[in-house]
Every structure is written in C-alpha cells, then in structure tokens.
Chain A
Amino acid sequence: MAHIALEGISKSFGKVQALRNIDLTVRDREFFVLFGPAGAGKTTILKTVAGIEFPDAGLVRFDDEVVNLVEPALRNVSMVFENYALYPHMTVYDNIASPMRSPLYRKDEAVIKQEVQKVADMMGIGSLLERLPSQLSNGQRQRTALGRCLVRSPRVFLMDEPLAHLDAKLRHLMRTELKSMQAEFDTTTIYVTHDYTEAMSLSDRVAIINLGEIVQIGSSDEIYYTPRNEFVAKLVGEPEINLVDVDLVSREGTLCAVFAGTDRCLPVNDDVAGVLSHSTIPKWRMGIRGLNVGYCFTEEENCVEGSVYNLEPIGNKAILTIKVGESLFQAVAPNDLRAELDSPIYLKLDMNNALFFNGETGDFVVRHNQAELVRGR
C-alpha cells in the first residue's frame, strides 16, 4: 500500500511527445482510473509508475520516496496487461503462483497453495487450476491474469485495459465482478481504460488524459456533471452530448439562450444567469445530454420547432435525432415512439441540465446547481 505521486513527468518517443508535464497524486488505497482515447498516453503513465518506461523529466514517488532509479522488480508493483501475457506452458495454478516464486518475493509452497486457492476462488476459476492457458476461454484467461496480479500484496496494482479484449457481455460481467471485489483489494490501484462505463463505475477518482496531458481529475460525478471542457463532456455518456452555438440575450429582464436558425429564446436558470451575465466571453456553446432533450408534437412554451431527422429504436430506448436549423439534437425517447422522417416536431430542452461552454476555447463555464451536484452525494 502506498500513495503514488508523479511530478512534472515528460516523455518523448523520437519526435513524438507522449507525456507533457504530468502531475498527479494517487492516494493510498485509492482506485484511480486513467481514462482517455487511444494514443493519449495512459499506458505510458502506467509504465512510468511500473518503471518499465523511464521519464525524460520529472519524479515518480512512492510514499514520498523518489523511485526513478529503482528497478521495476524492486518497486513491488503488480501489473496486469491487456493481452494477459500468461506463461503458455504453465498451468493456471503455476501462472498464479509465479509471482510468489520469484527470487525477490519467494514464499513457502504451503503458503502459495493457500493463496492461489483463495485468489482463484475469488476469481471463479478455482476448478480450473490444472488447465493450461490454451484450454481456457478468453474470460478465463483474463481471470487468471487478474488472479496472478492480485495474489501478491504489492504496494500498487497496475491494470492496463484488462477487459478490453473481452466481448461485451463478458466485459460487463467482469466489470461488475471487479467492482464487487474492490473492497477486498484494499490496495492502491491504477487502472487504464478507454471505456467510459469502466471509468465511471470503478473509479474513486478519474484522470482524463488527452494528447499526453491531464485534462481533468475528479470523481465520476465531477466528470459527468462538470466536465472541464467539451472534450471531456463528449467522452462520457451515450449518445454523445449535444453541443450547439448559442447567443445569450436579455429579454424582458430574463437571460435567454437563442440558437442558430431560430428566434425562440430559452430562459436560463437564475444561478446560471448570474454567472453568465458577468462574463466577458463573446461566444457561447451550450451542451445538453440526450436524456435531457425532450420533444413534443404540438407547440408548447419554450419549445423550438424542428423536424425528425432520424429515429432509431435500439432496444430499451430509441434515439430520436431532431434537426433544428442546421443543428442536430439527439434525444433519448421510448422505444415504441413512432414518427415519420422529416415530419415536424418540437424540441424541448431541460435547461436545468444545460452546460455552458466558452465557444472559443471549449472550456466549461457553468451549469445549474453546480455545487450541489458534485458535492459527492
């Protein structure tokens, strides 16, 4: 168990700068997720902690001790890889036992037996111990790899996309199992993923990584309700958040958002108006998630006229795409909704859940009820 700190870490591969000045602290026993698109630098950060990659600049600390010059094997970290990396000639038992047989962390065979059985039962592979990796399904291989990682008592677990190769159903099950076992780990964990549901579900805190930089660090509530910028807002949620250029105008003393191609004005909440009206930002963009986009077929107050662009029933819900001017809005609708393409429809936005971004930089500015939503309910 340890707290891990990265201070000013930079790393280049040839001309490509993979990491730029990364600062982050992972607290003792925290489940910390590194989340971002492919090529963002997540795995490089993980390898820097493991000692497999050597930073060009910056310090890596385990419990305040600088470990830059400590060999990977001596850092006492336990890592699980995306491609499992099991020993093909060893049984499940021997694979899981292997870390406890290394010269550095050698344990008694009696202790090993006990530990292997315990972790194998936890992973649900207790009856497969005599099998070779080639005799296992992908899910069982991944459980074995996780078991091998968890069997030790390292200072930190490092997990690099451990579920990425599994099919959707198994990924969902393994995510739930990992979450269910989390309390038992009781060890600092750094987990890399590009899947927002894993990041939201598993993390105590998330660091969003893009182009080798940290974009935001926060709880899953903070990431969801107050994304640092449009990039983060788009990463979380399905369908992707709707973003539209708006003008802010004052009508009869109320601050309203008006978007391109319409004259309909949507009043913003008082707390939001308070922030927006004091701002000097010249250009605005409003973000609103599919869940908060409503619709109606007859004109109502604060509705905006548009047309049905697409309607896709996808099981428990339908994605309704509404075209207003040149903008498309995706709304979550009931799966039995019927509507002809290109027929008229009215868009009804839940302004309580609108996010306002600086239209030039994409940075988040304000939303309604901001403080309450992120105060870790």
Chain B
Amino acid sequence: MARLTLKNVFKRYRNKKNEAADYAVNDFSLSCDDGEFVGILGPSGCGKTTTLRMVAGLEEITRGDIYIGDTLINNLHPKDRNIGLAFEDYALYPPLNVYENIAFNLSAKGVAREEIDRRVREIAPLMKVDDLLEMKPAGLSGGQKQRVNIARALVRNPLVLLLDEPLSHLDGKMRQILRTEIKRIHNKIKCTTVLVTHDQLEAMSLADRIAIMNDGKLQQFGTPLEVYDNPVNVFVAGFIGEPPMNLMKVSILEESGKLFFLFPKKGIRVAVPSRYRSALRSGMEVTLGVRPTDIFISSDDGTGSEVTVDVFENLGDEKRISIDVGEEDFLTLMTEDERRYKKGEKIHLRFHEEKTHIFDPETGDRIQA
C-alpha cells in the first residue's frame, strides 16, 4: 500500500489525418493518499482510461511523472510496478479453473506453492468465490467472473489496485451487490484504489474522493459531497447528480433595490440569494444552477415567485414538478409531500439560499459569492 501521485501528466496522440496532435490527457495531476479509494469519472473519450493505463504501464507517458510512494515509475516495466489490475471484460483464462486463474500471476512469478495456496485461500472468501474454486470461467455468471477477476488482482498484495469500469457489464441488481462488496473489501484491506467509471452513481457511492475529467483535463477533485454541493463549473454541475441540476441562462434584474433571476421568455423572476449581492449587477447574464431538490414551494406570502405547473409526475417514492420557463429544458423540482399538483396550478417558488449556484456563461466557471 502506498500513495499514488501523478504530476502534470500528458498523453499525446498524433492524429494521422491532419498531422495535428491531440492530447488525450492534458496536464493531469492527482494525489491519492495511502489506502484511499479514488474515482476517476468522466464521459467516454475524456481520457480517464488512458490515465489509468499510464499508471499501469500499458501506455507510454508523453510528459510528466507518476510516483508510487516515493518511487518514480515512469520507466518501470508494468510487472515491476506492483499494481493489481481488473478490467471491464474479465479476461479470465478459459482452460484454467477459478483457483488457477487467481493463482496464475503468483505461479508465473515463481512464488512457492504453499504461499500461493495460503494467499488464494485468504482472498477467495473475501471476494466470496471460495465455493467456486474448482469451476471453469465458462460456468460462471458475469458477477462471479468479475469477483474472480478482482480476486486475481488482489492476490498479489499490490501497492495500488486499478479498476476499469468493473461493474459496467453487470445487470442492475448484480451491479449494486458487487458495488457493496467492493466497498466492504476496500474497507477491510485498505489498498490504495483507483476506479475508472463513466457512471456518476458508481463513483459517488464507492470513492472517498472523485476526480472528474473532461476533454483530457481534470475538472475537479473532491469528496462526493464536495463535488455535489460545490461544483467548480457547469460541466461538473451537469455531470453529477440524478435528476440533473437545472442549468439555464438567465439575466439579472434589479427592482426596488432587490435582485432577481429573470427567465426572459416567460418573464418569470426568482429572488437572488443575498450572498450574491456583491457579485451581480442588473443586466448581467449568468448561467443559473439549482438542483431539483433545492427548489421549494413556498406559501403565497409575497416572497416566492409565482409560476404555473406544467407537468406533475408521481413516481411513487418521489414527485416531480416541471415548469416551462421558456427555455429548452423545463425547470424541475422534487417534492416529497403527499400533495398532488395539477397542470395549470399556480405555485410559489423559492431557491435554496446556500445551494443556488451561478456560473459565467462564457467560461462555465462558478462565480463565487
């Protein structure tokens, strides 16, 4: 177990068509603490898997340094990096049984048979594959194969465990079960772990901290709650959270000393939280970001903004109200009260004082209060 540090790492691919160079990974720095579980999250093509492959030694590093503990590993052979790897497709050896699959790397290294046996029998119950040791991969379910795959990565007692989309081939229920197992095993063995995923739910539920990537660049690195509550830009704001954050262009309107967000097409105005007083002026355009759970229905006491319910959806566990504010998307809010609303009904809205965000419409960066 060790710290994993990436310092200003670049990966450059030459684009054959027009000779231009593209950076798959662009000035990426990250520091994972010893025993930490870090998620690298982003849409497909954002460079997250390339980053992982550079750590594993499967991809050359164009520029920058990668350390495990205090050791620079840039030029170390993959097998000498002491890394455990588990990919999305399990890549188990079909002719070998589960025991032999888990033992394979240790035998290849020439570890003594008794030692191999001890390690396999130690790791197998942790991954709940101890009843499957005699079986061949063909007879296993997807979930079982991935358990064997992770067991095979862990049996080497790696300094760092790398998981690349380990759950994306599994169906809903199995995915949830294995997610829980991975979290519990990490809690037990505390091996420094990096998980690459495009599924924000997976990253949020597993990782101590999440690195969100887009376009080869690190956008934000923080705990699940930090990136959820304080997204640094529009990309992070829109990527994290389900249902997604309402993100819409509004202008700022000042009237009798008070500031309002104005949805121009419908003339709807909602009070600006007081902490933004100094950052905003009348006539400015900003991107407003507010989560469906941070919009409240208030009583008609003059403080809320009157809007018309366009869609009311009762989804059982929760209820959603959507309001047509004249933009491409609806303004959506969630309620947990038992009340049913009707299309056309007038309600009054208020935005959460602390959890309403504003972003620069040009750069997408968050505007601080």
Binding site for B on A (CB under 8 A): 124, 168-169, 172-173, 175-176, 179-180, 183, 196-197, 200-201, 220-221, 224, 236-240, 289-291, 309-310, 312-316, 319, 321, 332, 335-336, 341-342, 377
Interface secondary structure of A, over-half rule: mixed
Interface size on B, as a range, is: 35 or more
Give every chain B residue within 8 A of A310 (Cβ-Cβ): 180, 183-184
Known: A312-B179, A335-B228. A176 touches B330 (CB 8 A): yes
A312 touches B183 (CB 8 A): yes
- State which of B200, B310, B316 has its C-beta within 8 Å of the C-beta of A224: B316
**Bound form: Cα–Cα A342–B244 in Å:** 32
Please choose the segment from B27-35, B59-67, B235-243, B260-268 that sits at the chain A interface, where 4 or more of its residues have CB less than 8 A away: B235-243
What are 24 sample pairs from A and B whose C-beta atoms fall under 8 A apart? A168-B244, A169-B238, A173-B330, A176-B322, A176-B332, A180-B343, A197-B313, A201-B313, A201-B315, A237-B317, A238-B317, A239-B176, A289-B317, A309-B180, A310-B180, A312-B179, A312-B180, A312-B183, A315-B201, A315-B204, A332-B317, A335-B228, A341-B184, A342-B187
Distance (whole angstroms) from the CB of A197 to the closest CB of chain B: 5
Contact with A along B290-313 (1 / 0, CB 8 A): 011100000000000000001101
Give every chain A residue within 8 A of B292 (Cβ-Cβ): 316
**Bound form: Cα–Cα A313–B241 in Å:** 11
Q: Chain B residue with minimal CB distance to A330? A: B176
Q: Chain B residue with minimal CB distance to A239? A: B176
Give every chain A residue within 8 A of B317 (Cβ-Cβ): 237-238, 289-291, 332
Give every chain A residue within 8 A of B332 (Cβ-Cβ): 172, 176
Distance (whole angstroms) from the CB of B113 to the closest CB of chain A: 34
**Bound form: Cα–Cα A179–B315 in Å:** 13
In the complex, besides A200-B313, A238-B317, A332-B317, 18 extra interface pairs with C-beta distance below 8 angstroms are A168-B242, A169-B244, A173-B330, A176-B330, A180-B343, A197-B315, A224-B316, A237-B317, A239-B176, A240-B173, A312-B183, A312-B206, A315-B240, A315-B241, A315-B242, A316-B292, A316-B293, A341-B187
| A-B contact number at CB 8 A | 96
Give every chain A residue within 8 A of B179 (Cβ-Cβ): 312
**Bound form: Cα–Cα A224–B318 in Å:** 11
Q: Chain B residue with minimal CB distance to A312? A: B205
B329 within 8 Å of A (CB atoms):
yes
B340 within 8 Å of A (CB atoms):
yes
Interface centre among A124, A239, A314 (most CB of B within 10 A): A314
> Which B residues between 255 and 277 are near A, CB-CB below 8 angstroms?
none
Distance (whole angstroms) from the CB of B354 to the closest CB of chain A: 13
A180 touches B322 (CB 8 A): yes
Q: Chain B residue with minimal CB distance to A201? A: B313
**Bound form: Cα–Cα A168–B243 in Å:** 9
Give every chain B residue within 8 A of A221 (Cβ-Cβ): 314
**Bound form: Cα–Cα A237–B179 in Å:** 19
- State which of A175, A237, A336 has its C-beta within 8 Å of the C-beta of B225: A336
Give every chain B residue within 8 A of A169 (Cβ-Cβ): 238, 244
**Bound form: Cα–Cα A81–B40 in Å:** 36
**Bound form: Cα–Cα A377–B341 in Å:** 11
B224 within 8 Å of A (CB atoms):
yes
A237 touches B316 (CB 8 A): yes
B100 within 8 Å of A (CB atoms):
no
5 shortest interchain CB distances as A-B pairs: A312-B205, A201-B313, A224-B316, A316-B293, A310-B180
> Which B residues between 218 and 257 are near A, CB-CB below 8 angstroms?
224-225, 228, 238, 240-244
**Bound form: Cα–Cα A309–B183 in Å:** 10
Distance (whole angstroms) from the CB of A237 to the closest CB of chain B: 5
Known: A309-B180, A336-B225, A341-B187. A180 touches B205 (CB 8 A): no
- State which of B173, B204, B315, B329 has its C-beta within 8 Å of the C-beta of A314: B204
B365 within 8 Å of A (CB atoms):
no
B324 within 8 Å of A (CB atoms):
yes
**Bound form: Cα–Cα A237–B187 in Å:** 29
A313 touches B225 (CB 8 A): yes
Distance (whole angstroms) from the CB of A121 to the closest CB of chain B: 14
Distance (whole angstroms) from the CB of A40 to the closest CB of chain B: 15
Distance (whole angstroms) from the CB of A328 to the closest CB of chain B: 9
Interface centre among A169, A176, A200, A315 (most CB of B within 10 A): A315
B244 touches A172 (CB 8 A): yes
Q: Chain A residue with minimal CB distance to B201? A: A314
Contact with A along B332-367 (1 / 0, CB 8 A): 101000001001000000000000000000000000
**Bound form: Cα–Cα A53–B25 in Å:** 52
- State which of A200, A240, A314, A377 has its C-beta within 8 Å of the C-beta of B340: A377
Known: A315-B241, A377-B340. A200 touches B316 (CB 8 A): yes
Distance (whole angstroms) from the CB of A66 to the closest CB of chain B: 36
**Bound form: Cα–Cα A336–B224 in Å:** 10
- State which of A168, A291, A319, A377 has its C-beta within 8 Å of the C-beta of B205: A319
Q: Chain A residue with minimal CB distance to B240? A: A315
Interface centre among B238, B240, B291, B330 (most CB of A within 10 A): B330
**Bound form: Cα–Cα A355–B316 in Å:** 15
Give every chain A residue within 8 A of B187 (Cβ-Cβ): 341-342
Distance (whole angstroms) from the CB of B339 to the closest CB of chain A: 9
Give every chain B residue within 8 A of A180 (Cβ-Cβ): 310-311, 322, 324, 330, 343
Give every chain A residue within 8 A of B324 (Cβ-Cβ): 180
Distance (whole angstroms) from the CB of B198 to the closest CB of chain A: 11
Q: Chain A residue with minimal CB distance to B181? A: A310
Distance (whole angstroms) from the CB of B300 to the closest CB of chain A: 22
**Bound form: Cα–Cα A313–B187 in Å:** 16
Give every chain A residue within 8 A of B184 (Cβ-Cβ): 309-310, 341
Give every chain A residue within 8 A of B242 (Cβ-Cβ): 168, 314-315
Give every chain B residue within 8 A of A321 (Cβ-Cβ): 180
B204 touches A312 (CB 8 A): yes
Give every chain A residue within 8 A of B173 (Cβ-Cβ): 240
- State which of B205, B314, B328, B334 has its C-beta within 8 Å of the C-beta of A200: B314
Give every chain B residue within 8 A of A342 (Cβ-Cβ): 187
Distance (whole angstroms) from the CB of B232 to the closest CB of chain A: 17
Q: Chain A residue with minimal CB distance to B173? A: A240
Distance (whole angstroms) from the CB of B303 to the closest CB of chain A: 24
**Bound form: Cα–Cα A30–B293 in Å:** 31
Give every chain B residue within 8 A of A289 (Cβ-Cβ): 317
**Bound form: Cα–Cα A122–B316 in Å:** 28
